[in-house]
Amino acid sequence: MNRHLLSAADLTRDDALRVLDTAEELAQLSNRPIKKLPTLRGRTVVNLFFEDSTRTRISFEAAAKRLSADVINFSAKGSSVSKGESLKDTALTLEAMGADAVVVRHGSSGAPHRLAYSGWIRGSVLNAGDGTHEHPTQALLDAYTMRRHLGGSLDGRRITIVGDVLHSRVARSNVLLLATLGAEVSLVAPPTLLPVGVDGWPCEYTYDLDSALSKSDAVMMLRVQRERMKAAYFPSAREYSRRYGLDARRFGLLPEHAIVMHPGPMNRGMEIAAEVADSDRSVIVEQVTNGVSVRMAVLYLLLGGREPMEEGA
């Protein structure tokens, strides 16, 4: 595997399967009374968050701690970034503190690449979401969740991703990773919320949600990302919800075995009805649980992969 994880496209099929299999092994740990391994003892993981986050930040923190790493949490709010400090000077500060891995979330697409290849820091860089570009660990935890529910392999499985694809780093990383894993992906979105260049993505797209749902093994609803919208992309929230929301009627179009996913945070009542989000076919809370095992696997493989995964080492 590469030293950094910046894009889902960095992962070969073997790499991705190794992460998912390792995550499965590590998940067993959560059933033990002491949920900790010594694997990354003495290593320092910095969570560098320039954008708001609940799940991803907590998840990386839990993952690093369960592997016994020292964790430093940095959020731009309340730091010298608000005094105008640059990404470079922030990075040099982290390097001076001996960061072995930097988990970065940034509003600008490409910021993690800049960190990884600038020479400012020597450790591994993990992209925890950059602008509207990528979020590779989210795609890995989504694939992990699908594998658990859809019977092991994703080859030939039909996954439908619905909503604000234009602003979604989750969608792009999922399309890339799912294609690597052999799944067939369909995007459904209003034409205004599909990115230019989507024709070159390894997936199909359609504007007809009802017919896509009846053929899906999993449906992933995306949040309407109003904070990234600088124009009106649809007439009204009501209209969006009517055309592209997963309500109880549409939920009924899914095959019996299909699962409902959402990366969170959800706009309940907009892209997904509350009763669907809380139904027994929804795996939204489980996605969060799985995120910890998957991020442990990524940290383990990037930082400590050669050491035995055992207690008492």
CB of 33 to ligand NCD, least distance (A): 29
CB of 7 to ligand NCD, least distance (A): 14
Starting at the edge strand found earlier in the chain, the sheet holding 204-206 runs 204-206, 184-188, 158-162, 218-221, 259-261
Residue entry with tokens 């996913």: 261
Residues that bind ligand NCD (CB under 6 A): 55-56, 129, 135, 138, 169-170, 223, 225, 263-264
144 and 18 in contact (C-beta within 8 Å)? no
Distances from the Cα of 123 to the Cα of 20, 119, 127, angstroms: 23, 10, 13
Distances from the Cα of 204 to the Cα of 158, 162, 163, 244, angstroms: 11, 12, 14, 17
134 DSSP β-pair partners: 130
Backbone φ and ψ for 70, nearest 5 degrees, come out as -85, 135
CB of 52 to ligand NCD, least distance (A): 8
Q: What angle do CA 175, 181, 182 make, to 5 degrees?
A: 90
CB of 135 to ligand NCD, least distance (A): 5
30: closest CA among 312, 310, 289?
A: 289
CB of 287 to ligand NCD, least distance (A): 8
259: closest CA among 294, 284, 242, 288?
A: 284
3-class secondary structure, 137 = helix
Catalytic residues: 55-56, 83, 105, 135
The two three-digit tokens of residue 194, written as one number: 């599909």
CB of 171 to ligand NCD, least distance (A): 9
- Provide CB contacts within 8 A for 11, sequence distance 6+: 1, 5, 19, 136, 177, 180
Which residue has the closest beta carbon to ligand NCD? 223
